[in-house]
Structures are given as structure tokens and as C-alpha cells.
């Protein structure tokens, strides 16, 4: 408790939370009051990388951010209104991964981008589904961010020419070492031609 900087009055509640996490297989518990990491919770430890990629902790932090929680709590109201905006945009007046979000809350915008990178799993795809890339000579990664995914593909398949398409404010921060071709734009208006287009959801 001292290491967590929690007041003693919270001890019973922490115990309940730990038991819930153990019951959900987020933590392991071989004996009462003793908890350990599972493969799932191991991924959430700060500094742990998966296949050499981004930290996974950003994904649950983004999904449980106050912005997502408020948008979720506003769903009932959103369904009753005749609005075209997605719930997130309607509640906050900003769009994730766009400049409006960066203006609203730069730190959370950064977290959302880290979460997007953490949700990549390209290392697993390259290891388990290599046949997907057979015969492929060119590929465009839409909303490819800093090019982490495209660079991993080029490393595994040097003959594939990869384009990374993203918004100008993202591309201007990308490395320019010639490994991949960065294109500033909007996939809803134009996509650089290639044999395959990659969309990650």
C-alpha cells in the first residue's frame, strides 16, 4: 500500500479490485492475497514491448480515458438526436487523430496516437501470415502514422515499395531516411497507387 501511495482506508477496496482482476484472468492468484502477472497483464507493464513494437499500456489508457467514457455515457442522448457526428465528436466538439483533438487536449491526443501504434501487431502478422505478402511489389499504408508498420514490412520484405499516407501534421514529424515513401494527404480524397492498400482497424 505504501508503494501505491494509497490511504489505509482503501485497502479493502484494492483487495476487491485485485480479486476481480484475478477472476477475469488479468492477474494470476495461486493463493489468497498473492497476485502475479498473466500474459495479458504482462503486456500492460510500462516499458514492455511486443515484437519490438510500441507499449501496449497506451491502448487501455486511451480506451478508458475520460473522453471515451464521456462519449460512451452520452450514447443514449446521442441516439435520440438527429446528428450526423459520431458520439465522440458530438460530445467533445473534436475528432480523434485530427488537429481539433490536439487543440482540445495535446496530452490525450498523443496518448490516442500511441494507442493506435500499440494496436498494430504487425510483428505477429509478419510471423504468422507471411503468405499474405507473396508476389506483392507495392503497398500503401493508409493512416500509417510514423511508418512503424510499413518499415517493419520493408525490413521483412525489402523488395516491397511502401507508401505511408497520413495527415500533413503527422507526416511532417516522420523520419526521412528513404526506407518508405511518406505522403501527406487524406485517404478520403486520394490514395497513392499500389498493388495493395492497408487499413488497420
**Burial readout 37-50 (b: 16 or more C-beta within 10 A, e: otherwise):** ebeebebbeeeeee
Distance CA 92, CA 108 (A): 13
Tell me how far apart the alpha carbons of residues 54 and 150 are, in angstroms, rounded to a whole number. Answer: 14
CA end-to-end span of the chain: 39
28 domain residue, yes or no? yes
Number of domains composing the chain: 3
pLDDT tens by residue, 35-69: 998 878 877 777 666 555 556 788 888 999 999 99
pLDDT tens digits for 131-172?
A: 989 999 999 999 888 888 899 899 999 999 999 999 898 898
Q: Is residue 65 a part of any domain in this protein?
A: yes
Q: How many CB atoms lie within 10 A of CB 26?
A: 15
Length of the chain: 201
What range defines the domain where residue 150 resides? 130-199
For 43, 137, 167, 173, 196, the CA distances from 184, given in Å and listed in that order, are: 32, 21, 5, 11, 18
Whether 123 is covered by a domain: the verdict is no
If asked whether residues 138 and 191 sit together in one domain, one would say: yes
pTM assigned to the model: 0.66
Amino acid at each position: 500500500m505504501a508503494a501505491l501511495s494509497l490511504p489505509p482506508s482503501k485497502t479493502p477496496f484494492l483487495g476487491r479490485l485485485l480479486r476481480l482482476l484475478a477472476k477475469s484472468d488479468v492477474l494470476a492468484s495461486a493463493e489468497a492475497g498473492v497476485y502475479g502477472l498473466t500474459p495479458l497483464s504482462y503486456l500492460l507493464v510500462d516499458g514492455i514491448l511486443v515484437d519490438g513494437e510500441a507499449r501496449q499500456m497506451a491502448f487501455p489508457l486511451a480506451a478508458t480515458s475520460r473522453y471515451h467514457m464521456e462519449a460512451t455515457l452520452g450514447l443514449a442522448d446521442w441516439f435520440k438526436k438527429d446528428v450526423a457526428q459520431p458520439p465522440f465528436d458530438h460530445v467533445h466538439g473534436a475528432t480523434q487523430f485530427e488537429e481539433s483533438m490536439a487543440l482540445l487536449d495535446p496530452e490525450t491526443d498523443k496518448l490516442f496516437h500511441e494507442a493506435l501504434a500499440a494496436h498494430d501487431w504487425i510483428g505477429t502478422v509478419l510471423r504468422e501470415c507471411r503468405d499474405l505478402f507473396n508476389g506483392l511489389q507495392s503497398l500503401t499504408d493508409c493512416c500509417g502514422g510514423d511508418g512503424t508498420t510499413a518499415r517493419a514490412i520493408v525490413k521483412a520484405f525489402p523488395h516491397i515499395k511502401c507508401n505511408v499516407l497520413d495527415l500533413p501534421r503527422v507526416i511532417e514529424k516522420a523520419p526521412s531516411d528513404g526506407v518508405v515513401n511518406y505522403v501527406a494527404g487524406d485517404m478520403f480524397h486520394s490514395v497513392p497507387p499500389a498493388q495493395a492498400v492497408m487499413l488497420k482497424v
